[in-house]
Each structure stands twice: as C-alpha cells, then as structure tokens.
Chains A and B, each alone.
Chain A
C-alpha cells in the first residue's frame, strides 16, 4: 500500500500543489520532525538513484570508448539528411564568408580580439566546493563582475600564502578586468614561474598587452603568442588563431 505521506511529498516536488497547499506543506516540515524525515528520505532516495543512473551511463560510455579504442566515431547519416546537411553547409559557408568579409573590413583591433578572448574563456572562473572558502568567496565576487573587490580578496589570500597557483591567476584576471594592466602583467609573470600541469601565464600576458594596445604592445604580444605556439604551451590553439588574425 502507498503511504499517503509519500504521495503528498511527491505531489509537492512534482509541482502538483496550489499556493495554499505549498504553504501548508512547508509548515508541516517545520512542525513535524517525522514528516521532515520522510521528505529527507524521499530526496535522499532520488539522489542515490540519480547517482546510480549516472554510473550506469558512465559504464555505457566506457564500453563505447573502449570499443572505438578512443577514436571518435562518425555517425553515418541518411541520404536525405546528408542532402539537408549539404544545404545547411552551403548556407553556413555563405554566412561564414560574409562574416569573414565583415571581419576583414571591420579591421578589429588587438583590444577587440583580447576582449573576445576574455569573454570566451574568463567570463566566469571555476569555483570549487570544499574547504577553499576564501577562494570561493573571491571567485564569487569575480563572477558577479565585482573585479576590484575580487582583486582585493585574492590579494589577501596571496598575502597569506604566495605559493597558491589559482589565487595568483585569478588576481591577474581580476586586475585585467578592472583594468589594471601593470598589476595583471605582474601577477601573470609570477604565475609563469609555477610548474603546473596547465599554466596559461604566457597567453594571458599576451592578452593583457593586446587589450592595453599601447605603442609596442602588439609586437610584444605577438612574440609571446608565438612562444605559446612554438613551445606548445597552454592556449596553443588560441595563440595560433590570434596570430593569424593580427598578421
């Protein structure tokens, strides 16, 4: 037999209640611990089931990956669909040509390219759950667009421990967004000395110079981008692309 309580809880979470019923549901949670425990059980069960469902999918993906030996599998499409794709491709090619034409004649500046790069890659910075409360708070400020406050927060963290990688990178990014170019360059240059798996320090110095775009900055930025491309540093694909655009 179905427990009425379970049905009642399900109605709430499946959005089958009116405004008054929702209020009564919440009151019951606050006044009846046994009911609150039932709600917790309902949600915990859903979470565990969600976790198992994800594991099943991961198993399927693993089989897929193993069966293709890690190579990308092209999905074959039907003939009609192929014709449709060909039409889309032709249309897309025309649009791209128009965009390229506009890009050439619009003559974007290094600052425009830098702004686009920052927007694409650093609009938000990654926030990790866990014990890194201070970093998380500083990152939240950055993600809300409060760059000066974020910079101060990251600088506080760095003043306590200058060996941390991400606060240094993020302080540089916050300075770049303000913009305080000198500070950004100083932080990215310090970042470059870290031996990390993934270190975007050099491309970020180039981006800072491109965004500032004062006398000599463009040439210096291009030299840095070339270094990223030649030495296969973090951001190589973008560096190659930016070099092409600035030629």
Chain B
C-alpha cells in the first residue's frame, strides 16, 4: 500500500493500527470512527437523513473503509477524509435512491459473491447456485448457539484475522491450534445447521 503523500501523520497512525491485531486494531477502528463522525451531522443537514439513517450510513462507511484498508485497496492517493467522504456520499446516494423507490428491503439476503474470486467461472456458478439454497436466518441463529469461544473465533476469522492473529488475541499457543479449533467450530456449526436445513 502506498500511503505516502496525502496522509496526515495521525491518519497514517490509524491505518497502521488497523493493520495490527487485538487492542491496537480495535483502538484504531474507534479512532477512525471518531475522526469523521461529523459526517453524520452532514448527512442529516445536507442530505436530510434521519439521525439513525445517517449513523447507519456512516458506520457502514467506516466498516467498508476498514475492510479496504486491511485488504490493501486503499492506495493513499487522496487524503483519508476525501476517500471516506466519497464512500459516505455513495452510500448516502444508494440509501436515498432505495428510499425514494421503496426498494428498502427488510429481509435482505446475503451473498458470497465477493468470496468467490479464487474460483474459475464454472465452479463459481456451481457454488453460487448451492449457496442460494442457504437458509441465512437459520445459519445465523446456529452461529449464535455454538458457544462463545467458537463464535468469537469464527467472527475474527471472517473479519479477516489470520490464525496467528487469532492465537494472539484469544490466547492460543499457536496458529495451528487455532486452525484445528476453528475447523472444529465450523464442523460443529454444520452439525447444528444440518437438521434445520434438512426439514
């Protein structure tokens, strides 16, 4: 990531913190949220959003920014503020468009599309077709029932943490131990989910 010329020292520090693990990362996530939290007021006053809507749009902006920073898509070609504001603006436009055309769906479905990039097109469509059969609500409910440790481990894994990082934050000896435990947790989730899914 080339985060050189346009970044303020404090912004660089936040970005470096986001690339770390545990407390440092958490602290940096909160610093990032605080840094541009005034966008929420802008969303309310300039775009006429309700406070709740403006908060949601801004929180989604921060989450999206964190993901992009961690996966290296933020190249630092503009200031963090300009980049974040562009994401915020796009999300606001999306929300306004959805609201004005009554497309605001409460029961939205999830998609695994962005995780399929490693597969070739034929395999991708087979897996995508299978994933369309997923009962998202049931799977989500089972995930909250597999125990705190398992849940935390899977959440951190899904949030982009490596097994080594999970080992550090959750106090496991090695990344290998985490990998074994994580796969056990997935297996446990599958066993819990299966009966519901087969009804």
Residues of A participating in the B interface, judged by any CB pair closer than 8 Å: 1-3, 6-7, 10, 12-13, 15, 26, 29-30, 33, 36-37, 39-54, 56-58, 60-62, 64-65, 68, 70-73, 75, 77, 84-85, 88, 120, 126, 128, 130-131, 165-166, 196-198, 234
Contacting pair B29 A57 (CB below 8 A): yes
Contacting pair A45 B154 (CB below 8 A): yes
Chain A residue nearest to B64 (CB atoms) is A54
Report if A48-B94 is in contact (Cβ < 8 Å); known contacts: A6-B186, A85-B9.
no
Q: Which residues of A contact B110 (CB under 8 A)?
A: 44, 47-48, 51
Q: Which residues of B contact A47 (CB under 8 A)?
A: 110-112, 115, 158
Contacting pair B189 A75 (CB below 8 A): no
CB distance from B100 to the nearest CB of A (A): 8
Contacting pair A6 B187 (CB below 8 A): yes
* B1 beta carbon closer than 8 Å to chain A: no
For the complex, give the distance between the alpha carbons of A2 and B184 in Å: 5
* B106 beta carbon closer than 8 Å to chain A: no
Contacting pair A75 B31 (CB below 8 A): yes
Identify whether the interface residues of B are mostly helix, strand, loop, or mixed. helix
* B171 beta carbon closer than 8 Å to chain A: no
CB distance from B35 to the nearest CB of A (A): 7
Total contacts A-B at CB 8 Å: 174
Q: Which residues of B contact A84 (CB under 8 A)?
A: 9
Encoded as 1 (CB less than 8 Å from any A CB) or 0, chain B from 50 to 68 comes to 0000011001001100000
* B40 beta carbon closer than 8 Å to chain A: yes
Contacting pair B92 A198 (CB below 8 A): yes
Contacting pair A39 B127 (CB below 8 A): yes
Contacting pair A50 B30 (CB below 8 A): no
Interface centre among A10, A77, A84, A197 (most CB of B within 10 A): A197
Q: Which residues of B contact A26 (CB under 8 A)?
A: 119-120, 122-123
Q: Which residues of A contact B116 (CB under 8 A)?
A: 43
Apart from A43-B116, A46-B112: 15 A-B pairs, beta carbons within 8 A: A2-B183, A3-B183, A26-B119, A40-B127, A44-B112, A46-B158, A48-B139, A48-B143, A49-B143, A57-B29, A61-B30, A64-B30, A120-B78, A128-B97, A196-B96
* B199 beta carbon closer than 8 Å to chain A: no
CB distance from B110 to the nearest CB of A (A): 5
Report if A58-B63 is in contact (Cβ < 8 Å); known contacts: A30-B122, A46-B157.
yes
Contacting pair B55 A10 (CB below 8 A): no
Q: Which residues of A contact B89 (CB under 8 A)?
A: 126
Q: Which residues of B contact A53 (CB under 8 A)?
A: 155-156, 158-159
* B41 beta carbon closer than 8 Å to chain A: yes
Report if A7-B183 is in contact (Cβ < 8 Å); known contacts: A39-B130, A49-B157.
yes
For the complex, give the distance between the alpha carbons of A62 and B30 in Å: 11
CB distance from A180 to the nearest CB of B (A): 24
Chain A residue nearest to B190 (CB atoms) is A41
Contacting pair B34 A75 (CB below 8 A): yes
Chain A residue nearest to B36 (CB atoms) is A72
Contacting pair B158 A29 (CB below 8 A): no
Chain B residue nearest to A73 (CB atoms) is B34
Contacting pair A72 B35 (CB below 8 A): yes
* B23 beta carbon closer than 8 Å to chain A: no
